[in-house]
């Protein structure tokens, strides 16, 4: 029996989410009932005629701030009434530059959940009280975007890849960059960048320059190939991302 995972995004731009859910591997995963992705329009929880979800900040300042009462209604509705055991398999996540920087380890851990609810902001930010309504806060990097929709979709794609059946061959995600290392029995080292990959043609000619596939990959010697990949992954990580070693 396939495992099913549900993703919900609270947003004022549901069309961004809907468009994403209709393409490529994600669309196939949805059609195979491995995951679901649903956008919930925050404005639908506002009762005034203008469907107002934001207001000016107390104390003055630029921009508009998302209202906590409207967000509370949305989170309560999307979370639903669940048993204690079901609630343990559900998390509400706030997307914010102030959150923990999301990584591959987080993606793997969150893939064990059954329901993830993403709170996506816009404008100047959130009323601070909204933080008390969520379980975790995440950022996808030290930069500012227009809103939380893209970070939510980035996280959903990374998490979905750990759901059996979403990616065609599970082995294709085992030795990726930032995955727990599974080369040459050296699994005490974690989070290396992925080793170099090659395909046909064996020799690529560009002008007078010839670029060849490393001979070891053509040798058919699996033990040597695994060893080479480990050494290349380690070398690449030391050069490009020594901070993760």
| pTM (predicted TM-score) | 0.85
Confidence check: pLDDT of 169 > 70: no
Q: What is the pLDDT of residues 66-99, one digit of tens each?
A: 999 999 999 999 999 888 888 899 999 999 999 9
At 176 the pLDDT is: 59
How many CB atoms are located within 10 Å of the residue 193 CB?
20
Tokens of 209: 């320059």
Identical fold for domains 5-160 and 174-244, yes or no, is no
CATH for the stretch 174-244: 1.10.1270.20
Q: What is the pLDDT of residues 132-157, one digit of tens each?
A: 999 999 999 999 999 999 999 999 99
Tokens of 67: 């209202």
At 87 the pLDDT is: 86
Q: How many residues does the chain have?
A: 245
Question: Which CATH fold topology does 5-160 show?
Answer: Alpha/beta knot (3.40.1280)
Domain ranges of the chain: 5-160, 174-244
Environment class of 57 (CB within 10 Å of its CB; exposed 0-12, middle 13-18, buried 19+): middle
Better-predicted residue by pLDDT, 3 or 170: 3
CB 152 within 8 A of CB 120: yes
Confidence check: pLDDT of 213 > 60: yes
């Amino acid at each position: 029996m396939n495992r099913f995972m549900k993703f919900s995004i609270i947003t004022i731009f549901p069309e961004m989410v809907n468009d994403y859910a209709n393409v490529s591997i994600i669309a196939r995963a949805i059609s195979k009932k491995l995951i679901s992705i649903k956008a919930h329009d925050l404005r639908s929880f506002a009762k005034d005629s203008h469907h107002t979800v934001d207001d000016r900040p107390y104390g003055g300042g630029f921009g508009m701030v998302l209202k906590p009462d409207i967000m509370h209604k949305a989170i309560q509705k999307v979370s639903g009434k669940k048993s204690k055991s079901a609630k343990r398999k559900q998390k509400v996540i706030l997307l914010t530059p102030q959150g923990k920087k999301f990584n591959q380890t987080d993606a793997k851990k969150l893939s064990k959940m059954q329901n993830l609810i993403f709170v996506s902001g816009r404008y100047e930010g959130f009323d601070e009280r909204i933080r008390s309504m969520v379980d975790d806060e995440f950022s996808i990097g030290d930069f500012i975007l227009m809103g939380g929709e893209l970070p939510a979709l980035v996280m959903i794609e990374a998490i979905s890849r750990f759901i059996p059946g979403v990616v065609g061959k599970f082995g294709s995600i085992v030795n990726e960059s930032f995955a727990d290392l599974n080369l040459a029995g050296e699994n005490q080292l974690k989070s290396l960048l992925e080793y170099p990959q090659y395909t046909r043609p064996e020799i690529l000619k560009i002008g007078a320059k010839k670029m060849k596939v490393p001979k070891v990959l053509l040798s058919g010697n699996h033990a040597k190939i695994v060893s080479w990949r480990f050494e290349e992954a380690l070398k690449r990580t030391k050069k490009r991302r020594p901070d993760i070693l």
